[in-house]
Amino acid sequence: MPIATELITHLLNGLVLGLLYAVIALGFMLILGTMEVINFSHGALFALGGYLALALQPHVGWWAALALAPVGVGLVGLLMEFGVRRTYGRDPLFGLLFTFGAALAIEELIRIVWGSRGYTISAPAFVAGPFQAGFFFYSKYRVLVAVLAVLLLGAVWYFLDRTPYGAIVKAGAYDSEMVRALGIDLARVRNLVFALGTFMAGIAGVIAAPMWSLKPTIGAEAVMPAFIVVVIGGIGSFWGAILGGLMVGLVSGLSNLVVPRGSILVMYLLLAVVLLWRPRGLMGQKSVLEL
C-alpha cells in the first residue's frame, strides 16, 4: 500500500474513532457535569447496548436493533438513577463507588446471559465491504458510523442549545440551587440527563459492535478513553467533548501507523500534555475534580 494511501486510511480511521469517542464521552460528561457523579458504569452500559443489539438483530434487523437497544440501556439508566440520587450532595466518592459496583454487576450479568466468549455483529448488508475511489479502498460501515455519530452529536447539540428543556439541563449543571428556587423539579431533570447519558452509551455500543468484537470486558476498554476525552476537552463543555474525542481518535489512529501497540499510550501522553498546559482542559470550567 502506498504511504500516502496508508496515511489517509489511518487518518480516516482516527476521525471515525474520534467521533465515536465523542459520542461515548458526551454521555459521560452530561452525567458528570449535571450531577457531579463519575459514572463508572458508563462502559458497562456501552457493552450492554452492543449485547442487546446482538440479541435483537436476528429478529428485528440492524436498524430496529439500533433504535431499541439504546432504549433498553436508557431504561436501565433510569433505574440506576434512583440509587445514584442518594449520593447527590455528598462526597463524589459515594457516587463513584455506586456506579463502579453497578458496572461490575452489569458485566457479570452479561457473562451470565451471553457467556464469556467473544461475539461479532455483522454490519448491515448495504454497507458490507469497502468502497473504491481509484486505488483507495475504505470501509463503507466506518463511513456510516461517522455519519450516525455526527447526526447524534447534532441532535444532542440542538436539544441542549435550542430547546427550553436543554436550557434547564445546562442551568442545572451550573447552579442547581437557582433551578430549584425557580420551582423546577431538579430530580426529574437529573433523571432525564442520566437516561440520556446512558442512552448515548447504548447507541455507541450498538454502532461500535461491528467494528469491535463484543466481550464482557469491552466496557472497561471504552470508559477510560471516554474519561480521558472529557478531561482533555474540559468537564461540562459540549464542544470540548467533541474536540477531545477527535484529538484522541486522531492521535490513536496515527500512532497505529508508526507504533501499532502505542495507541493506548498516546492517549495518556496527550492527556498529560493538555493538563500541563491547561489544568481544566481545553474548554473546561471549574469542576468537582479541581481542588
pLDDT at 287: 46
238-263 exposure pattern, b = at least 16 Cβ within 10 A, e = fewer = bebbbbbbbbbbbbbbbbbeeeeeeb
pLDDT given for residue 87 in this prediction: 80
Confidence tier at 121 by pLDDT (50, 70, 90) = confident
* Mean pLDDT over the full length of the chain: 83
pTM: 0.88
**Backbone phi and psi for residue 140, each to the nearest 5 degrees, phi listed first:** -65, -35
Mean pLDDT in residue range 193-205: 91
Model pLDDT for residues 227-268, shown as the tens digit of each residue: 899 889 887 788 888 999 999 988 888 887 777 777 778 888
Alpha-carbon dihedral 83, 84, 85, 90, rounded to 10 degrees: 130
pLDDT band, very low/low/confident/very high, at 285 (cuts 50, 70, 90): low
pLDDT at 27 over 80: yes
Q: What percent of the chain has pLDDT over 90?
A: 25
Inter-residue contact 245 to 152 (CB < 8 Å): no
The pLDDT, as a whole number, for residue 130 is 77
Q: Angle 3-35/42-60 helices, nearest 10 degrees? A: 110
**What's 208-268 look like in SS3?**
HCCCCCECCCHHHHHHHHHHHHHHHHCCCCHHHHHHHHHHHHHHHHHHHHHCHHHHHHHHH
Tens of pLDDT along 30-45?
887 777 778 888 999 9
